[in-house]
Structure 1
Amino acid sequence: MSVLVVGSINMDMTLYLPRWPAVGETIRAHETLVQLGGKGANQAIAAARLGARVTMIGALGRDGFGSRASAELIAQGVALYADSLDDTPTGIASIDVGPDGQNIIRLSPGANDAVTAQTVTRKADVFAGVSVLLLQNEIPLDGSSAAAHLARAAGALVVMDPAPAPDTPWGPDILSQFDIVTPNLAEARLLSGLSDDIPPAQVAAKLARHCGRGAIVTMGGDGVVWCIDGQSGAAPACKVDAIDTVAAGDCFNGALATALAQGALVADAVTYALHAAALATTRRGAAASLPAHSEVTTFISSRASGAKQC
């Protein structure tokens, strides 16, 4: 099984706050972390830790952060094909985490904006033998579109996490490039054009009509709904004591891609991904929070035994 991630690589600077400050107020963080992040890098590491053979296409600045990010991805077992740019810095994310584990993220994309269609097309040979292509919305859309085209030509399943939310809704001409989209509920409502009073299952169903196979909509503590290949379903979230939700969505997508690459049914892949994402929220950091396959299977077994139900 092979997962290819085309996407963002950042260094994350995370401040853990005792409370949320008021406008104009300065407060002292009780902990600071500087570590690898970016939705693409997080997805790649998540899939690698869960047992997939992972390749990643991206871009980095020729700077200290770029060198560190490259070394960490390779150390995690990711085969990295990243352009190193002289005139553009590595992407940076500034993350504030509150006492409830929720976060606010400010992003400077830097070199990630160079992952264009031209960049991706130059690496077309990387797509050979790929089972699942995993994308996110932290690189230019034309880069994602080129990757989706190459992946489909190679017989791969294309999964797109449309986060951060696009500035304007994607029409059928864009959504149809992807086999499965995995937005959160707010992103799904934006993409579908449906209002807040429409049930999530109907939102997923509308999105699914425009995608190759369908949509999986994540809802945080309320679980997941999906509509894939004309079949709908839902699964509850795992109840855990979350301390940091920064990489939960990336972990979900990395786990989903890994399970689908193994040939899992959608319902089973979603269940696996929900457990992996729940584990990630019990740890601090982005890439540092991502669990190994053995941890996820142990967690699933403990829930199945009745120790604590999802």
Structure 2
Amino acid sequence: MNKPRIVVIGSLNMDIVVETSRFPRVGETLTGEHVHFIPGGKGANQAVAAARLGGQTTMIGSVGDDMFGQSLIESLQQDAISTDHVIRIAGTPTGIASIMLAESDNQIVVVPGANASCLPEHIQAVEQVIAEHDIVLVQLEIPLETASAVCQLAKKLGKIVILNPAPARELPEAMLKCVDYITPNRLELATLTGIDASGDHLQTAMEALLEMGPSCVITTLGEEGSAFLRKGETLVKVPAYRVPVVDTTGAGDAYNGGLAYALAAGNELKEAVAFACKVSAMSVTKLGAQAGMPTQEDLKILNQPIR
């Protein structure tokens, strides 16, 4: 059987992770406990997640011509990810994410750097590469016009498109109509629709997003698991797994990489969502977004989800 083929178009960042006992108040200076320099970026994280699960994965994006950029490319190559179409932008720094970890949670500030130079013409130049894959996975840490060009090109090529709308922003109708699966969390869902997505309002917000164009909305709900809704069907909830939490930074990226892998492998949607929940759960048990991405062997220790 051929490996599932996944192409990820998105960001590559160096994550500068600071661990503290608590988050500082405004104007306060705290002494941190540890600092780590960890390969990240939502695009690269999702590529690593898919590759570690067994997917034949290609990364498309941009880095700077600095040491961080070279380090990120080498890190992807260690997971057998094709980096032939990660371009180096001269005179531009690689993107970074400043991440503070405290109290089993995180706060993140992203500086795009070279990610802002991943442009639509770059996507046009790799049309044949996209055509060779089963699933196209894209996020919003690259310019919106580029992400939109990806979705429209992938749909023209008859590919399955997964859009992780993070960070959330208003999206053009032409883009949303090309999306097969959109994967917001509750906050992103509320931002996209203008509807409170908490509690009983969840389905209303998901229905509103469906009306905007995607074929299926899959909402991640943290410790509550996930919910998905397709046009003309009923809302389905999939439970989460209970695990010890070390670092939640890459949980959403693990979820999307797991979902892409499972769908590319031919799983039905409910099975794919359940698999994504399992991948996401395992990812938070280790420090670092990419370091926490599990293999198929890692997933074997998780038995039953929370009911």
Q: By the TM > 0.5 criterion, same fold? A: yes
Q: C-alpha separation between the residues in 2 aligned to 1:196 and 1:158?
A: 24
Q: C-alpha separation between the residues in 1 aligned to 2:27 and 2:148?
A: 41
| Partner of residue 145 from structure 2, selected from 142, 146, 168 | 142
- Could you tell me which amino acid in structure 2 is paired with residue 93 of structure 1? A
Q: C-alpha separation between the residues in 2 aligned to 1:76 and 1:22?
A: 39
Shift of 1:171: 4.9
| Alignment check: 8 A CA contact 1:204 1:225 kept | no
Equivalent residue, structure 1, for 2:124: 121
- Could you tell me which amino acid in structure 2 is paired with residue 278 of structure 1? A
Equivalent residue, structure 2, for 1:86: 90
Q: C-alpha separation between the residues in 2 aligned to 1:176 and 1:154?
A: 14
Q: Percent of counterpart pairs with the same letter?
A: 35
Q: Deviations over 1:234-284 (max 9, x none)?
A: 112212221210000000000000000011111100100101101111111
Equivalent residue, structure 2, for 1:281: 284
Equivalent residue, structure 2, for 1:230: 232
Equivalent residue, structure 1, for 2:186: 185
Q: Does residue 300 of structure 2 align to residue 294 of structure 1?
A: no
Q: C-alpha separation between the residues in 1 aligned to 2:75 and 2:294?
A: 16
| Alignment check: 8 A CA contact 1:3 1:55 kept | yes
Q: C-alpha separation between the residues in 2 aligned to 1:201 and 1:294?
A: 35
- How do residues 56-71 of structure 1 correspond to structure 2 at under 5 angstroms? 56-71=59-74
| Partner of residue 201 from structure 1, selected from 203, 208, 215 | 203
Q: C-alpha separation between the residues in 2 aligned to 1:54 and 1:21?
A: 39
TM-score with structure 2 setting the length = 0.94
Deviating more after overlay: 220-229 vs 31-40: 220-229
| Partner of residue 57 from structure 2, selected from 54, 64, 79 | 54
Q: C-alpha separation between the residues in 2 aligned to 1:184 and 1:144?
A: 19
| Alignment check: 8 A CA contact 1:275 1:299 kept | no
- Could you tell me which amino acid in structure 1 is paired with residue 99 of structure 2? I
Q: Deviations over 1:22-81 (max 9, x none)?
A: 222221222211010000000000000011110111001011000100011111111111
- How do residues 91-106 of structure 1 correspond to structure 2 at under 5 angstroms? 91-99=95-103, 101-106=104-109
Give the 3-state SS of the residue equivalent to 2:291 in structure 1.
helix
Gaps of 5+ in 2: none
- Could you tell me which amino acid in structure 1 is paired with residue 123 of structure 2? V
Equivalent residue, structure 2, for 1:175: 176
Equivalent residue, structure 1, for 2:161: 158
Q: C-alpha separation between the residues in 2 aligned to 1:225 and 1:117?
A: 32
Q: C-alpha separation between the residues in 2 aligned to 1:124 and 1:72?
A: 25
| Alignment check: 8 A CA contact 1:44 1:56 kept | yes
| Partner of residue 110 from structure 1, selected from 108, 113, 132 | 113
Equivalent residue, structure 1, for 2:48: 45
Q: C-alpha separation between the residues in 2 aligned to 1:172 and 1:12?
A: 32
Q: C-alpha separation between the residues in 1 aligned to 2:64 and 2:205?
A: 39
TM-score with structure 1 setting the length = 0.93
Deviating more after overlay: 258-267 vs 148-157: 148-157
Equivalent residue, structure 1, for 2:30: 27
Give the 3-state SS of the residue equivalent to 1:84 in structure 2.
strand
| Alignment check: 8 A CA contact 1:47 1:258 kept | yes
Q: C-alpha separation between the residues in 2 aligned to 1:116 and 1:177?
A: 19
Give the 3-state SS of the residue equivalent to 2:62 in structure 1.
strand
Q: How many correspondences in the alignment?
A: 301
Q: Give the RMSD, CA atoms, in angstroms.
A: 1.5
Q: Does residue 94 of structure 2 align to residue 75 of structure 1?
A: no
- Could you tell me which amino acid in structure 1 is paired with residue 91 of structure 2? D
Q: 1:196 to 1:50 in 2, by over 3 A?
A: closer
